[in-house]
């Protein structure tokens, strides 16, 4: 089979690799669609992010769907032919975080396509995958395999909503409306947010944000004054989800968040300076959010039942043979939100 292997920055190759052996609790899957994520792009463009660097060749990718080809002898309930979304989260199950329900903080996590541990964890952009049966989530007949590959980024958004601790009836701002921010908006709608304002510095993501359920969109570059009304009386938003990872967005968030509001930082922003006086005086709850675990099942359920329609997020689908082209397209934020790779036989 072929896999998409990153050797270093700007060095991405389609290579022939061996299909791993099928274990008795495992499934052999023909991969259908794979979404290119921001972290995949960082590996491709810069060979990593922050202190994380690719030190040996690594297959990229962690947002995948597929069709089961074979099941190990111990697998129950999933048969060949089953269409599935694949969770890339593989916690150890034994560490103190797994034992207390914080699997996303697992000390032995083997998350697909991650150069954080060494040796690196190989990713899922390959024609075939052998997965643990517990990673497989069956799809409803009407849900396309392309949409199913959005379960992972939707899970990230749903975990962020969990971290906010309840948004029912709240006025919410989302800054940064790429695939994660936009899918998060779809989740917020389902979680009962009363009013959702979406902000970005480009129009393409804002159009998507509106399709995903935002009530108002603000382009911070061309209509920054539109945010002024939300600064009144110490700030108007009960919760802000900062999904851009940029310092200016975080500063806007602190200007418009209400006292005792919750600021969830979804974007990885590196090292940036914060106006601590605002955080202190407004008693802002500043909370990080990282990946997901149990939310993957919820994401698949929302997609299966049509409660979140992720289609507006997908801006291009590119054949596997042109995967390097797909990465270049995904890096062009003026025309791309989620770019997906279609693997061989993806129509099945
Ligand atoms: Zn663990």
How does DSSP assign 102-117, residue by residue? -GGG-TT---TTB-SS
pLDDT beyond 90 at 133? yes
User: Over the stretch 232-288, which tens digit does the pLDDT of each residue have?
Assistant: 999 999 999 999 999 999 999 999 999 999 999 998 877 888 999 999 999 999 999
pLDDT beyond 50 at 345? yes
| Cα–ligand 1 centroid distance for 124 (angstroms) | 21
User: Over the stretch 210-239, which tens digit does the pLDDT of each residue have?
Assistant: 999 999 999 999 998 999 999 999 999 999
In the predicted model, what is the mean pLDDT of the chain? 95
pTM metric for this prediction: 0.96
User: Over the stretch 136-180, which tens digit does the pLDDT of each residue have?
Assistant: 999 999 999 999 999 999 999 999 999 999 999 999 999 999 999
| Cα–ligand 1 centroid distance for 107 (angstroms) | 5
Beta strands 195-200 and 216-219, pairing class: parallel
Structure token digits, residue 66: 């597929």
What integer pLDDT is reported at residue 269 of this predicted model? Answer: 76
- Whole-angstrom CA distances from 43 to 8, 102, 115 are 7, 27, 9
pLDDT beyond 80 at 348? no
| Cα–ligand 1 centroid distance for 96 (angstroms) | 7
| Cα–ligand 1 centroid distance for 98 (angstroms) | 4
Helices 151-164 and 295-304: crossing angle, nearest 10°?
Answer: 120
Domains of the chain, start order: 2-150+310-342 (3.90.180.10), 155-288 (3.40.50.720)
What integer pLDDT is reported at residue 122 of this predicted model? Answer: 94
| Cα–ligand 1 centroid distance for 295 (angstroms) | 17
User: Over the stretch 51-109, which tens digit does the pLDDT of each residue have?
Assistant: 889 999 999 999 999 999 999 999 999 999 999 999 999 999 999 999 999 999 999 99
User: Over the stretch 280-323, which tens digit does the pLDDT of each residue have?
Assistant: 999 999 999 999 999 999 999 999 999 999 999 999 999 999 99
What integer pLDDT is reported at residue 49 of this predicted model? Answer: 86
Beta strands 314-319 and 237-242, pairing class: unpaired
What's the mean pLDDT in 191-200? 98
| Cα–ligand 1 centroid distance for 242 (angstroms) | 28
| Cα–ligand 1 centroid distance for 99 (angstroms) | 7
What integer pLDDT is reported at residue 346 of this predicted model? Answer: 46
* The residue count for the chain: 348
Confidence of residue 17 (pLDDT cuts 50, 70, 90): very high
| Cα–ligand 1 centroid distance for 159 (angstroms) | 18
| Cα–ligand 1 centroid distance for 88 (angstroms) | 14
Q: Is 241 exposed, middle or buried (0-12, 13-18, 19+ CB in 10 A)?
A: buried
């Amino acid at each position: 089979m072929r896999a998409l292997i990153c050797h270093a920055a700007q060095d991405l190759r389609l290579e022939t690799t061996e299909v791993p052996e099928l274990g008795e609790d495992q499934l052999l899957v023909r991969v259908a669609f794979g979404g290119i994520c921001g972290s995949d792009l960082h590996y491709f463009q810069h060979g990593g992010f922050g202190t994380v660097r690719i030190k040996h060749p690594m297959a990229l990718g962690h947002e995948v769907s597929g069709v089961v080809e074979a099941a190990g002898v111990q697998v129950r309930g999933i048969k060949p032919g089953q269409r599935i979304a694949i969770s890339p989260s593989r916690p150890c199950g034994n560490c103190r975080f797994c034992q207390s329900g914080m699997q996303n903080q697992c000390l032995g996590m083997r998350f697909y396509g991650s150069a954080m541990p060494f040796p690196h964890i190989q990713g899922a952009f390959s024609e075939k995958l052998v997965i643990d049966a517990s990673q497989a989530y069956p799809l409803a007949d009407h849900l396309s395999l392309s949409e199913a590959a959005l379960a992972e980024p939707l899970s990230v958004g749903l975990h962020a909503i969990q971290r906010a601790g309840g948004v029912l009836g709240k006025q919410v701002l989302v800054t940064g409306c790429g695939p994660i921010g936009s899918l998060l908006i779809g989740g917020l709608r389902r979680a009962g947010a009363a009013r959702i304002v979406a902000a970005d510095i480009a129009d393409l993501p804002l159009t998507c944000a509106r399709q995903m359920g935002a009530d108002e969109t603000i382009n911070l570059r061309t209509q920054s004054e539109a945010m002024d009304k939300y600064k009144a009386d110490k700030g108007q938003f009960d919760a802000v989800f900062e999904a851009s990872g940029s310092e200016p967005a975080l500063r806007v968030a602190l200007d418009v968040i209400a006292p005792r509001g919750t600021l969830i930082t979804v974007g990885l922003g590196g090292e940036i300076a914060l106006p601590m006086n605002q955080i202190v005086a407004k008693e802002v709850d500043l909370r990080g959010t990282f990946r997901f675990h149990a939310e993957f099942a919820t994401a698949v359920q929302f997609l299966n039942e049509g409660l979140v329609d992720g289609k507006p997020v997908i801006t291009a689908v590119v054949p596997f043979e042109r995967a390097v082209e797909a990465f270049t397209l995904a890096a062009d934020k003026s025309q791309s939100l989620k770019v997906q790779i279609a693997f061989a036989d993806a129509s099945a």
